[in-house]
Amino acid sequence: MSTQHVPVLSAEVIELLALSPGVTVVDGTLGGGGHTRLLAAEVGSTGRVIALDRDPVAVERTAATLVDLANVTCVHASYVDLPEVLAELGVAVVDGMLLDLGLSSDQLADATRGFSFHADGPLDLRFDPTVGEPAAKLIARLSAEHLANLIYQYGEERHSRRIARRIVERRRERPIETAEDLADIVRRSVPKPKNHRIDAATRTFQALRIAVNDELAGLQHALERMPAMLAPSGRLAIISFHSLEDRIVKQTFRDSSVLSIVTRKPVQASVGEQADNPRSRSAKLRVAERLVPQ
């Protein structure tokens, strides 16, 4: 039941959310519960943390590790559905919100989910395995052109056409069913990256994961809905891990008529944190505050 996940930018999140004892805060991406536990400590026994995750495995596992915290409520739901979740709980507005948009180490470690390039389990990539279409079915039915466009748009992969052609050639021989299978095809299709810390399959897997989970549209929709759930002076903190997410957050904060930007530039992990937790290298934290009505 223990988690392998180490939350990123924890100190910065706590400082910038500026929570007080007794307030209510939302953790829209429960994951391994690292941020949730820190938020619970900030709001104290008189406050409340409402933690959501669309991954039912994460909710079940992490809720069991947080049973000692009476001020935490765990819910299996997407942060996109936050207004409905709050309404069901009888909560009108909250004083803070956090979204950590990254993939958790627990999901990577689960060979049955397909998130790890080296997993010999099914190529799924869904955060909620009960909803939508797994990645294996997606790449089995899309044309080479559609695959190439998807990999280029969501993965920013300049070798997308070559990868798509190889996928189509391979599936004529036999289905592509495992993450390891797909990763091998991609690695054989593109030059070896100069930065050896990054696997050649990274961008393609990112693209397929975004597609099967409809991540970017979901984030955009959530950002349109969330400000109305924030109390005046309440803050929204979002940690993104690639440029597509960060661009949406940056533009939404900039264009909002009800939010004031707190972080003029994205906050990034310290050199020490990056050394201790390599996953934090690509993390960017942006924070905005709900304006007080005039």
Please state the domain extents for the chain: 10-106+216-290, 114-214
Query: Are the C-beta atoms of 278 and 8 separated by less than 8 Å?
Result: no
Amino acid 6: pLDDT:
84
Q: Measured in Å, how far apart are the chain's first and last C-alpha atoms?
A: 48
Alpha-carbon span 174 to 168, nearest angstrom: 10
224: left (phi over 0), alpha (psi -120 to 50) or beta: alpha
Residue ranges of alpha helices (H) inside 8-50 are 10-17, 34-43
Amino acid 103: pLDDT:
80
* Ramachandran angles phi, psi of 131, nearest 5°: -125, 135
Please tell me whether residue 240 adopts helix, strand or coil conformation.
strand
Tokens of 16: 């910038």
Is there a common fold for 10-106+216-290 and 114-214?
no
Amino acid 164: pLDDT:
98
Altogether, the residues listed in the chain come to a count of 294
Alpha-carbon span 274 to 206, nearest angstrom: 21
- Reading the chain (294 residues) residue by residue, the pLDDT tens digits are 556 678 899 999 999 999 999 999 999 999 999 999 999 999 999 999 999 999 999 999 999 999 999 999 999 999 999 999 999 999 999 999 999 998 877 787 788 888 888 778 889 999 999 999 999 999 999 999 999 999 999 999 999 999 999 999 999 999 999 999 999 999 999 887 676 677 889 999 999 999 999 999 999 999 999 999 999 999 999 999 999 999 999 999 999 999 999 999 999 999 999 999 988 999 999 999 999 987
Amino acid 151: pLDDT:
97
β-pair type (284-290, 230-240): antiparallel
What topology is assigned to 10-106+216-290 in CATH?
Rossmann fold (3.40.50)
Q: Which residues contact 60 (CB under 8 A, 6 or more apart)?
A: none
CB atoms within 10 A of CB 6: 15
Alpha-carbon span 271 to 250, nearest angstrom: 24
Tokens of 156: 């920013």
Q: Which residues pair with 27 in a beta bridge?
A: 51, 98
Amino acid 21: pLDDT:
98
Amino acid 1: pLDDT:
53
CATH of domain 114-214: 1.10.150.170
Amino acid 221: pLDDT:
97
